[in-house]
Structure 1
Amino acid sequence: MTGNTREALRSVAVVGGGPVALIAAVALAQALPGATVTLTPAPIAPDALADRFPLALPATHDLLATLGLAPDRLLAKGVARPRLATRFDDWSRDGRHWLIGDDSAATLPEGRLHALWLRARGQHRFHDLIPACAAAAAGIADPRVEPALLLDPARLTQALAAIAGQAGIRLTAPFAAIAADTLHCQDGTHLTADLLIDASGPPRLLAPDAPFEDWREALPATRLTLSPTIADPGPLDRYRATSTGWSAHWPGITAQAQADGAGIAIAPGRLTAPFAGRILAIGDAATQPGPLGLLGFTLALTQLALIRELLPARHPEPLLIAEVNRRANERADRLRDFLAAHYHAGGRTTGPFWHALRHANRPPSLENLLTQFARRGHIVTADEETLPRDAWLALLLGQGIRPERPDPVAQSLSPAEAAHVIDTLAKRLAALEFPS
């Protein structure tokens, strides 16, 4: 009987030098109070975007609070700044700008919001009906809207290091090599652990040759150049499609993304199996979603939440490993489809970068989602979803997709009645009178 006893992890070693590694060490130390958690530093790679540009969407805020990083405290101490929405210019079929809010859209008793908006025949923009977008347009961080958190990597690292010290996390000399699941450090010491966490970013120091699924056809922005900027975008990230890719204004930074040329090389994709044997990859080491939206850190947090939910035992369990891989991959693939829809949903079509996408293959799951939405205005649900349904609606409607079939519930109102409902709501939101 003792051979079937499930033993808890006694030791965990995390490899990495940025916020992803630190927060993984803190999360596992809290989840395993009886285990030894060790952090082995490693350099932060130029393309480790989750470490260099950490962004936490509202869906991850509960986890942050559990780890001692309550969002309101992070904002008050200057570790984070609020982001309410993302604006896209020159990215739609008609050339008009559109926004995706970081919080949910308003709700209406008359029926589904986007269906009524369509029934109103284009009165106002869809993002006018999203409270976060209204607050962003006003340039304020309204306390009634839960923002995404744009985290300062240096201050976040400092905060996490303090928590790690209080949690008793051990620190070794920098990483040198791995052999037979044994970590070798640059001072000649070595260590083993029941579970090895690879948070080293795209270099994947613990399994550099692990099978990798290439996403470059779905996410074609594979070169990124960065330069300082003086303009402060406020609580709004800004993207503009160009003939060769896109440009972005993030706090303090101007970014240019394209398919080739100079800059930081990005290899979008994910490991086929982020959990193999005793090695579990998280963050950019597991999935590199690329620079659009800066969603790598958010994905890393959702991976940590999954690990804490399905906590491995001391000895590898094939069924649990398979379940972690299944759910982590479904979550990563859903996020890939969301990002790929920015490129492949038929919004911007002019310019060599966008023209080349006409010949690219779309992931089958994205193809199905776009087909369903184009026919019925329905967003195919996913079990492992990181983004709210309203983000998908804002993305597809903003680019100019209009469903072929009207919503039956919305048909109960005349276009004039629907327009009145939408107009009333839009005016309330523009005046920052948010529905309770």
Structure 2
Amino acid sequence: MSDPLDLPIRKIVIVGGGTAGWMAAAPLAQRFAQAGRARPEIMLVESPDIGTIGVGEATLPPIRAYNTTLGLDGADFVKKTQGSFKLGIEFRDWGQVGNRFFHGFGDFGPAIEGRSPWQHWLRLQRTLPDLPSYEDWSMATAMARRNRFTPPEGGAPSAANAFSFAYHFDAGLYAAYLREYAMARGVQRVEGLIVDVELRPQDGFVAAVKLADGRRIDGDLFIDCSGFRALLIGGAMQSPYEDWSALLPCNSAQAVPSERVAPLTPYTTSTAKAAGWQWRIPLQHRTGNGHVYCSHFISDDEAASTLLAGLDGKALDTPRQLHFTTGRRKQSWVKNVVGIGLASGFLEPLESTSIQLIMDGVGRLIQFFPDRRFKPHLAAEFNRLMAQQYESTRDFIVLHYKVTERRDSELWRYCAAMPIPDTLAHQIELFRSTGRVAILDRDSFAEPSWVSLLMGLGLRPEAYDPFVDHVDEAALVQHFARVRQAIAQTAAAMPSHDDYIARHVKAPQA
């Protein structure tokens, strides 16, 4: 058997720029710069004539680990991307009109006698009708309600570090920031429009891509970041697309920026509408807004009117239209092509998962990085893990639509009646009947997120963990009161989100 070091990847070609392309290029450039042996050439091909989607400007907390791994300066990153901080998502009119709840980043406090604190809350709320909401024991929620922010403090566990956070940023500026980083570490940027893909006749692997001006760019490994076109993974490799429209019927979106308004909230807002939902993402220089909807239940013109009517600041442009089909590629890695981002699949941005899926796809490619033999079991494991993550993320998003009391429009009546995957049905019914949460994918949303959504949407369990009955009720009430007071006092003492940004990460005027 030949030594795999004799067959290293010599050239990586990334097809497409934007967020996905440069999020792939940056960590690859960094890793190979540290490899200590012959490094492959990395080339990224992008066309200025093909726009990026750019509807997602909100993230999940693991983006911080991605940035840290690259060695990015946190303050510089926020300034350069006109960023703000995100403690979670406020949901309005989901479950029923008038309902409002918060999906915060973090849990509901330390375990009590080995059981999650919200299980003890379930017990107490049966006998104490005036018991405050379970959300009062979420530090992220307490901060968001007061528009406060400061990063978690180190040291012993306390209210001052019992939360996590992510970012809002301008996706175009983030791509440009990573482009500068990657090119400084040797990534070559080629500008041009790909018009043809050349396959090797002996095995069907991609040999090269051809540009409109006649240039031919060959490579060993091709990373498809060409967006919905899926030029390589869908076109050349013919990986089938699994359509999830029956579960996630929204198939259109319109996005528009608006003027920034005060205060600068440290959270994303998602407001359910008659035929979909509307997002609000606050940045330092503007507010990002969008309306995700099902075109079977509302026209594009009506959707634009709904979007513009829901703005809290003056629109800075006309709404930009996007049509999509939710789903994923059956295989994201075929032969020597790996699809990342929209080329691999699309889930609507209801829980800010688009950038997370890019990040995890790149991370898994690095984990299972091949040599030129492209052993099929590497691709098989990559595809298994990506499929699992896409499906578990899909189910978490479907949950928002399915657990609803709304019957006031065609969309919500459809969602209430639609069949759902057995996996999600099991998770819902397990919680409904026993108060337990089933986590089917450890790389996806954790227990506190499921509790936030299930409880926030109005689902109250019929039972709770019987082991919590062994804790003295009076002592438990006193403990909850102390923790709630500590959370409220700590949040109240923090600077406002506006003040923290002005003092530490103020961006230059756009």
Normalising by structure 1, we get a TM-score of: 0.91
Deviating more after overlay: 229-238 vs 110-119: 229-238
Q: How does 1:212-227 map to 2 (within 5 A)?
A: 212-227=241-256
Which residue does 1:235 correspond to in 2? Answer: 266
Tell me which amino acid in the other structure corresponds to 1:259.
C
Aligned equivalents of 1:431, 1:349: Cα separation in 2: 40
How many equivalent residue pairs? Answer: 432
RMSD across aligned positions (CA) = 2.4
Q: Is the 8 A contact 1:17 1:44 kept in 2?
A: no
Q: CA deviation at 1:335?
A: 1.0
Q: Is the 8 A contact 1:100 1:127 kept in 2?
A: no
Aligned equivalents of 1:125, 1:259: Cα separation in 2: 33
Tell me which amino acid in the other structure corresponds to 1:114.
W
Q: Deviations over 1:46-93 (max 9, x none)?
A: 7x65x4424332123222211233544423555532111211111135
Which residue does 1:266 correspond to in 2? Answer: 324
Aligned equivalents of 2:48, 2:17: Cα separation in 1: 6
Gaps of 5+ in 1: none
Aligned equivalents of 1:419, 1:347: Cα separation in 2: 32
Q: Which of 248, 258, 280 does residue 279 from structure 2 map onto?
A: 248
Aligned equivalents of 1:395, 1:70: Cα separation in 2: 33
Q: How does 1:405-416 map to 2 (within 5 A)?
A: 405-413=463-471
Structure 1 or 2, whichever has the larger Rg, is 2
Which residue does 1:179 correspond to in 2? Answer: 198
Q: CA deviation at 1:104?
A: 3.4
Would you say 1:188 and 2:214 are equivalent positions? yes
Q: CA deviation at 1:169?
A: 0.7
Q: CA deviation at 1:155?
A: 2.4
Aligned equivalents of 2:445, 2:339: Cα separation in 1: 22
Shift in alpha-carbon separation, 1:357–1:234, aligned structure 2, 3 A: same
- Structure 1 SS opposite 2:119: helix
Q: Is the 8 A contact 2:58 2:281 kept in 1?
A: no
Q: Which of 90, 111, 116 does residue 112 from structure 1 map onto?
A: 116
Which residue does 1:20 correspond to in 2? Answer: 20
Q: Deviations over 1:93-142 (max 9, x none)?
A: 58431100123332243431110121121722232221111111111222
Shift in alpha-carbon separation, 1:431–1:213, aligned structure 2, 3 A: same
Would you say 1:64 and 2:67 are equivalent positions? yes
Tell me which amino acid in the other structure corresponds to 1:314.
R
Tell me which amino acid in the other structure corresponds to 2:223.
I
Q: Deviations over 1:238-274 (max 9, x none)?
A: 1222222222222213322221131421211110000
Q: CA deviation at 1:419?
A: 4.5
Gaps of 5+ in 2: 34-38, 153-162, 200-205, 301-320, 493-510
Q: CA deviation at 1:236?
A: 1.5
Q: Is the 8 A contact 2:106 2:164 kept in 1?
A: yes
Which residue does 1:129 correspond to in 2? Answer: 137
Aligned equivalents of 2:443, 2:193: Cα separation in 1: 34
Shift in alpha-carbon separation, 1:5–1:174, aligned structure 2, 3 A: same
Q: Deviations over 1:302-356 (max 9, x none)?
A: 1111111111222221111100000111111111111111111235443221111
Q: Deviations over 1:215-243 (max 9, x none)?
A: 11222222212233333551121122222
Shift in alpha-carbon separation, 1:130–1:200, aligned structure 2, 3 A: same
Shift in alpha-carbon separation, 1:351–1:385, aligned structure 2, 3 A: same
